[in-house]
Amino acid sequence: MKQQMNVYVKQFLTFGACFAGLGPIIGGYLLWMTLSPANLTIRGGQVFLAIVSTYIIAFVHGGTIVFHRIEHWSPFKAAALQLLCLYAVYMGAYLVNRWMPLDWKAVLITTVLFVLAYAVIWIVIYTITKHVTKKLNKKLDE
C-alpha cells in the first residue's frame, strides 16, 4: 500500500510540474527585478506574488489529476478531493493577492460559483465519457 501511495505522490508531483512549468517563476522574478525600481502603481512584488500564485494554482491543478487514477477510489471521492484541493488553492490565491475582498459575502458567492462550475464541468465530462465507453463496448460486442 505504501509503495502504491509513493507512485501516486510521484505522479502528482510530475503532473503538477508538467502542468505548471518553471516559466512563470522565472518570468515573475525578472519582472519583479525590472519593475521594483520604477515608481508604478503596481509593485514588482505584487506581480511576482501573482505569478507565483498562478504557478501554484497550475501545479495543484495538474497534480490533482492523479486522484482520478487511484483505482480503489470511487469517481465521487476523487472528484470531491480534487474539488477541495482546487478550492483551497484558488481561494488562497484570491485572498493573498487581494483579487477578492476578504468579506464573507464575496467568499460565499465565489464558493457557490466555484462549486457550480466544477460540478457542471464534471457532469459534462462524466456524461461524455460514459457515452464514449458505451459506444466502444457496443463495438467490442459486435
pLDDT of residue 118: 94
Three-state helix/strand/coil letters over 11-72: HHHHHHHHHHCCHHHHHHHHHHHHHCCCCCCCCHHHHHHHHHHHHHHHHHHHHHHHHHHCCC
17 and 69 housed in the same domain? yes
Question: DSSP class of residue 103?
Answer: -
45 and 80 housed in the same domain? yes
For the chain, which residues score pLDDT lower than 50? none
8 A C-beta contact, residue 16 and residue 60: yes
How many domains does the chain divide into?
A: 2
To which residue does cell 465521487 refer? 76
State whether residue 99 is helix, strand or coil. coil
pTM above 0.85, yes or no: no
b/e code 125-139 from CB counts within 10 Å (16+ = b): eeeeeeeeeeeeeee
Q: How confident is the model over 4-35, as pLDDT tens digits?
A: 778 888 888 887 777 776 666 666 666 666 66
71 and 121 housed in the same domain? no
Separation of alpha carbons 95 and 79, rounded Å: 24
Structural domain containing residue 12: 2-99
